[in-house]
């Protein structure tokens, strides 16, 4: 089959846009005109393969246009406003990492994942991706290939890292929504939930990688567009963190065969969802093919036979080969690509997003050795071309030239854009609900799907394969209590460990995305500090999922959120090492567009010296002291209490790094000294929910007085349910009380009660008993709410 000529040189503006829309190119008029001018100068039309290559390379999904654009940003408060020109969102995030400048950050924002130092000879790579659009159309396949894709990012970072952990965070519509309230062409959240979890389960388990940290949020805002975040963490010898292609190196395609699945995935993912999108845009996953590839690649890496590697993700071969050839050039022979079946057009071979494929480069003299390894591991491979110094991608199919693309134009020819964005402050008055039955509200919160135990999901993931998992996702009595973070001991001969946690809360973002950024950053840190993580050796990943950013007001919320990430990263002194954005998560029904709530996920990874010193959140013994660390305030906006009560009022929580960061360092010190027996942070649902969770895991009761909490409020409702940041509940042996007070002198803390042999939660306000619930009841409500 030959390439077709696409006649664009003489098209008028409207015809150019028709071509972009009809061909699923997702290019705007300015971009189409830039392409037109480029080919006019060459005095020829492009081939179908060429225009498709440019479209996918320039797609939002691959090029991250919005994050690279100049933005004129305006903040409006009351009658007043301020404006600012931001060079780009991407540069803003990078700037914070540069300013923080940690020498243990080995590779940031350039490869397929961020890399930090683990020990003298070893490094850790971490990446989180999203697979939102495909999972909405085909939940099982979309989620499975989401996890498959991010695993390949780790296999393709530097010269390859070994995946040792998967993480998963999902956002769905409410599971109990009735079909009548659902548009006809949208899957029910329950179907999406089951499909996505099953997809991640079947792929991750078959890969032999433990899935161990995550979160699930259920909210009306995700009925039309779900979010599927998949992460993978890998470990590698430090000497393999860099890749380098040399002219003359062979281009080797390894893994699965190429078919028509996933064509236009990149361009489709850059646009919004609407009716009648062909489901051929979703790829089909086969984990065993990927597992064989993993086994083979790690052997090849350790024998030092490869010079560079990257995965075939969005855009397929075109982006994988394009990226590697960026600084030199390449010749590719498409007839050498192994196909699933006959009948693919050259551009389809080049663009297909068939899964489980990677491209590597190797010196010619290593080919026979590689062949032997691949044959031994029963892995498919083919040498499809070689790197040149032509500065071009020269693509052939059975001797016909089907593409001749200038790499400089491909990667730098995209017209620079300048965007406008506005953010308006929302002030919500402080209103407190009256006549609240605290006990009933607590039960409602514990059974809310966002807060309730995720055991139904967690148990379906293998969280122990590889035998590195030291703190599992569930622990305590009967392994039914929650844990704040997962802890791995990644080397078989050392007790050095890795702590992984996350923070996500779209509700704060509805009011102020800046504070949402701060709160997500802090939540991820609180989670890892609670088990004994080290804030002084922690790195972040950012993942922004946003709605229709063509709307200046929605783009404004994104800008405000990125500013928050920049500022709070600096204040907590934690570098971002990698990240990803997924924009245009909106759905079009007739003329309306429905956007998701702007959702930021912060994933955190921390290195600790000794996994034997960590603690879990469950109460360990009766008659221990319970201390509260951190100050409670009237910060109810975006809280789960107000969500349950269907209220919108008050102030969104504000992180206080000046107080919290020193507190976190003290907690780590006290945990390492063995003084803290259990530690849990207060997040969704506030103090009352956090305390309940410690009881569930411990099998002991608690007797506390909330009048004694360190506080800036006297309202019982705030003391129980406010989501003020920087707060931890800890259990201390009575004998250690003095040592504890000495360590925490200067920090806000108070002894608020003790654990009890009686499995019961008793909360007083001074002398008045305001909550009195049987522990079994709390446990049953919390563990039984989310069913499969």
Shortest distance (Å) from residue 612 CB to another protein: 6
CA atoms 319, 323, 328, 333: torsion sign: negative
The tokens for 315 are 């855009």
Quick check: is 131 catalytic? Answer: yes
Nearer to another protein, 147 or 577 (CB): 147
Shortest distance (Å) from residue 125 CB to another protein: 18
The tokens for 285 are 């996953």
Pairwise CA distance, residues 452 & 696, whole Å? 12
**Quick one: which of 527, 506, 512 has its CA closest to 615?**
527
Nearer to another protein, 399 or 787 (CB): 787
**Quick one: which of 247, 252, 408, 391 has its CA closest to 317?**
252
The tokens for 287 are 């984990």
Shortest distance (Å) from residue 735 CB to another protein: 16
Quick check: is 61 catalytic? Answer: yes
Instruction: Lay out the site mask for another protein across 614-643 (x = CB under 8 A, - = otherwise).
Output: xxx-x-x-----------------------
Shortest distance (Å) from residue 677 CB to another protein: 9
Among residues 52, 60, 75, 286, the one that binds another protein under rule CB under 8 A: 286
Written as one string, the DSSP assignment of 489-540 is --STT---EEEEEEEE-HHHHTT-HHHHHHHHHHHHHHHHHHHT--GGGEEE
Say if residues 717 and 644 touch (Cβ distance below 8 Å): no
Shortest distance (Å) from residue 667 CB to another protein: 16
Q: Per CB under 8 A, which region of 214-222, 255-263, 466-474, 738-746 contacts another protein? A: 466-474
Nearer to another protein, 481 or 598 (CB): 481
Among residues 16, 226, 611, 773, the one that binds another protein under rule CB under 8 A: 611
Pairwise CA distance, residues 161 & 305, whole Å? 15
Kindly state the greatest CA–CA separation across the chain.
Answer: 89
The reply on whether position 681 binds another protein by CB under 8 A is: no
Instruction: Lay out the site mask for another protein across 362-391 (x = CB under 8 A, - = otherwise).
Output: --------------xxx-------------
Among residues 152, 243, 292, 301, the one that binds another protein under rule CB under 8 A: 292
Query: Which positions ≥6 away from 471 have C-beta within 8 Å?
Result: 483, 485, 486, 487, 531, 611, 614, 616
Pairwise CA distance, residues 691 & 720, whole Å? 10
Pairwise CA distance, residues 216 & 202, whole Å? 18
Nearer to another protein, 614 or 631 (CB): 614
Nearer to another protein, 122 or 551 (CB): 122
Q: Per CB under 8 A, which region of 4-12, 318-326, 399-407, 471-479 contacts another protein? A: 471-479
Partnered with residue 488 across adjacent β-strands are: 469, 498
Pairwise CA distance, residues 606 & 665, whole Å? 13
Shortest distance (Å) from residue 291 CB to another protein: 6
**Quick one: which of 233, 164, 686 has its CA closest to 502?**
233
Catalytic annotation, pick one of 64, 131, 449, 566: 131
Say if residues 186 and 150 touch (Cβ distance below 8 Å): no
Shortest distance (Å) from residue 681 CB to another protein: 17
Instruction: Lay out the site mask for another protein across 168-207 (x = CB under 8 A, - = otherwise).
Output: ---------------------------------xx--xxx
Pairwise CA distance, residues 632 & 278, whole Å? 51
Say if residues 209 and 232 touch (Cβ distance below 8 Å): yes
Nearer to another protein, 164 or 541 (CB): 164
The tokens for 40 are 């006019």
Shortest distance (Å) from residue 532 CB to another protein: 10
Q: Per CB under 8 A, which region of 320-328, 356-364, 469-477, 635-643 contacts another protein? A: 469-477
Among residues 249, 462, 522, 634, the one that binds another protein under rule CB under 8 A: 462
Pairwise CA distance, residues 163 & 209, whole Å? 7
Shortest distance (Å) from residue 678 CB to another protein: 8
Shortest distance (Å) from residue 413 CB to another protein: 43
Pairwise CA distance, residues 275 & 257, whole Å? 30
Nearer to another protein, 17 or 465 (CB): 465
Could you tell me the CA-to-CA distances from 536 to 113, 145, 642, 747 in Å, in that order?
21, 34, 35, 19
The reply on whether position 475 binds another protein by CB under 8 A is: yes
Among residues 215, 470, 594, 773, the one that binds another protein under rule CB under 8 A: 470
Q: Per CB under 8 A, which region of 77-85, 269-277, 301-309, 475-483 contacts another protein? A: 475-483
- What b/e sequence results for 360-388 when a residue is b if at least 16 CB atoms lie within 10 Å of its CB, and e otherwise? bbbeeebeeebeebbeebebbbbbbbbbb
Among residues 34, 91, 388, 460, the one that binds another protein under rule CB under 8 A: 460
Pairwise CA distance, residues 567 & 571, whole Å? 6
Nearer to another protein, 476 or 597 (CB): 476
Say if residues 191 and 563 touch (Cβ distance below 8 Å): no
The tokens for 367 are 């080919």
Tokens 């930090």: give the residue. 116
**Phi, psi dihedrals of residue 639, rounded to the nearest 5°:** -75, 160
The tokens for 221 are 């805002």
Among residues 218, 240, 461, 642, the one that binds another protein under rule CB under 8 A: 461
Would you tell me how many other CB atoms lie within 10 Å of the CB of residue 93?
23
The reply on whether position 357 binds another protein by CB under 8 A is: no
Shortest distance (Å) from residue 202 CB to another protein: 8
The reply on whether position 466 binds another protein by CB under 8 A is: yes
Nearer to another protein, 285 or 653 (CB): 285
Among residues 238, 459, 648, 708, the one that binds another protein under rule CB under 8 A: 459
Rounded (5°) CA angle 381-384-386: 125
Tokens 């100049």: give the residue. 70
Cα-based torsion angle of the residue sequence 149, 558, 633, 777 in order, rounded to the nearest 10 degrees: -40
Please tell me the count of residues contacting another protein according to CB under 8 A.
42
Pairwise CA distance, residues 398 & 375, whole Å? 26
Catalytic annotation, pick one of 61, 64, 463, 468: 61
Nearer to another protein, 479 or 573 (CB): 479
Among residues 189, 476, 509, 579, the one that binds another protein under rule CB under 8 A: 476
Say if residues 473 and 463 touch (Cβ distance below 8 Å): yes
The reply on whether position 288 binds another protein by CB under 8 A is: yes
The reply on whether position 695 binds another protein by CB under 8 A is: no
Nearer to another protein, 4 or 472 (CB): 472
CA atoms 643, 644, 649, 654: torsion sign: negative
Q: Per CB under 8 A, which region of 32-40, 611-619, 664-672, 713-721 contacts another protein? A: 611-619
Pairwise CA distance, residues 434 & 440, whole Å? 14
Q: Per CB under 8 A, which region of 104-112, 254-262, 281-289, 556-564 contacts another protein? A: 281-289
Shortest distance (Å) from residue 469 CB to another protein: 8
The reply on whether position 612 binds another protein by CB under 8 A is: yes
The tokens for 73 are 């940003």
Shortest distance (Å) from residue 304 CB to another protein: 20
Q: Per CB under 8 A, which region of 48-56, 358-366, 425-433, 463-471 contacts another protein? A: 463-471
Instruction: Lay out the site mask for another protein across 241-280 (x = CB under 8 A, - = otherwise).
Output: ----------------------------------------
Please report, as residue ranges, which positions from 482 to 521 form the binding site for another protein (by CB under 8 A).
489, 492
SS3 at position 676 = strand
Looking at the annotation, which residues are catalytic? 61, 131
Query: By the criterion CB under 8 A, which residues form the site for another protein?
Result: 201-202, 205-208, 286-288, 291-292, 376-378, 459-467, 469-472, 474-477, 479, 489, 492, 611-612, 614-616, 618, 620, 788
């Amino acid at each position: 089959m030959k390439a077709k000529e696409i006649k664009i040189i003489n098209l008028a503006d409207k015809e150019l846009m028709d071509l972009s829309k009809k061909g699923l190119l997702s290019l705007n008029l300015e971009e189409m005109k830039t392409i037109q001018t480029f080919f006019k100068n060459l005095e020829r039309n492009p081939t179908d393969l060429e225009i498709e290559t440019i479209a996918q390379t320039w797609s939002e999904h691959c090029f991250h246009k919005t994050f690279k654009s100049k933005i004129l940003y305006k903040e409006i408060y009351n009658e007043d406003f301020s404006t600012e020109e931001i060079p780009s969102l991407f540069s803003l995030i990078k700037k914070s990492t540069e300013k923080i400048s940690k020498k243990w950050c080995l590779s940031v924002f350039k490869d397929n994942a961020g890399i930090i130092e683990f020990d003298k000879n070893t490094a850790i790579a971490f990446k989180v991706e999203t697979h939102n659009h495909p999972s909405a159309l085909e939940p099982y396949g979309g989620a499975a290939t989401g996890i498959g894709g991010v695993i390949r990012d780790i296999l393709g970072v530097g010269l390859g890292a070994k995946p040792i952990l998967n993480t998963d965070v999902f956002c769905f519509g409410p599971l109990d929504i009735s079909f009548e309230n659902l548009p006809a062409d949208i899957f029910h959240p329950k179907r999406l939930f089951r499909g996505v979890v099953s997809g991640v389960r079947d792929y991750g388990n078959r890969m032999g990688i433990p899935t161990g940290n995550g979160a699930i949020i259920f909210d009306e805002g995700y009925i039309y567009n779900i979010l599927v975040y998949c992460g993978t963490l890998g470990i590698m010898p430090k000497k393999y963190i860099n890749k380098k292609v040399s002219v003359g190196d062979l281009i080797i395609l390894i893994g699965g065969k190429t078919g028509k699945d996933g064509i236009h995935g990149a361009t489709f993912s850059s646009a919004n969802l609407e009716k009648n999108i062909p489901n051929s845009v979703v790829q089909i996953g086969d984990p065993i093919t990927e597992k064989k590839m993993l086994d083979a690649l790690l052997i090849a890496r350790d024998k030092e036979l490869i010079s560079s590697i990257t995965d075939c993700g969005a855009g397929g071969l075109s982006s994988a080969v394009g990226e590697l050839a960026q600084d030199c050039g390449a010749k590719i022979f498409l007839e050498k690509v192994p196909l699933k079946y006959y009948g693919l057009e050259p551009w389809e071979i080049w663009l297909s997003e068939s899964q489980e494929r990677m491209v590597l480069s190797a010196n010619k003299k290593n080919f026979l050795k590689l062949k032997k390894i691949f044959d031994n591991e029963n892995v498919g491979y083919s040498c499809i071309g070689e790197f040149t110094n032509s500065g071009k991608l020269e693509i052939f199919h059975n001797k016909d030239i089907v593409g001749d693309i200038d790499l400089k134009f491909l990667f730098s020819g995209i017209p620079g854009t300048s965007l406008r964005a506005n953010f308006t402050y929302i002030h919500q008055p402080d209103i407190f609900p009256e006549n609240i039955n605290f006990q009933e509200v607590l039960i409602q919160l514990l059974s809310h799907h966002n807060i309730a135990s995720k055991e139904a999901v967690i148990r379906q993931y293998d969280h122990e394969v590889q035998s590195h998992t030291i703190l599992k996702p569930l622990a305590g009595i009967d392994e039914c209590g929650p844990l704040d973070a997962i802890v791995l001991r990644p080397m078989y001969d050392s007790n050095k460990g890795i702590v992984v946690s996350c923070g996500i809360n779209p509700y704060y973002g509805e009011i102020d995305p800046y504070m949402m950024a701060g709160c997500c950053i802090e939540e991820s840190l609180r989670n890892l500090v609670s088990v004994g993580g080290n804030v002084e050796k922690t790195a972040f990943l950012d993942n922004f999922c946003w709605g229709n950013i063509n709307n200046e007001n929605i783009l404004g919320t994104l800008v405000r959120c990125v500013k928050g990430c920049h500022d709070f990263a600096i204040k907590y002194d934690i570098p971002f090492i990698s990240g990803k954005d997924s924009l245009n998560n909106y759905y079009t029904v007739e003329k309306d567009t429905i956007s998701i709530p702007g959702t930021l996920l912060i994933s955190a990874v921390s290195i600790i010296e000794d996994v034997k010193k960590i603690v879990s959140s469950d109460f360990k013994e009766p008659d221990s002291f319970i201390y509260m660390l951190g100050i409670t305030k009237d910060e109810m906006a975006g809280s789960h209490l107000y969500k349950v009560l269907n209220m919108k009022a008050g102030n969104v929580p504000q992180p206080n790094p000046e107080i919290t960061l020193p507190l976190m360092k003290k907690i780590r010190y006290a945990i390492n000294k063995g003084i803290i027996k259990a530690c849990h942070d207060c997040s969704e649902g506030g103090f009352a929910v956090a305390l309940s969770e410690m009881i569930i895991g411990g099998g002991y009761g608690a007797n506390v007085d909330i009048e004694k909490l360190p506080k800036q409020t006297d309202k019982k409702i705030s003391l129980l349910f406010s989501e003020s940041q920087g707060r931890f509940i800890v259990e201390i042996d009575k004998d250690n009380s003095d040592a504890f007070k000495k360590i925490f002198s200067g920090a806000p803390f108070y002894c608020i009660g003790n654990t009890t042999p009686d499995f019961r939660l008793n909360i007083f306000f001074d002398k008045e008993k305001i909550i009195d619930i049987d522990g079994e009841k709390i446990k049953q409500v919390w563990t039984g709410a989310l069913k499969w």
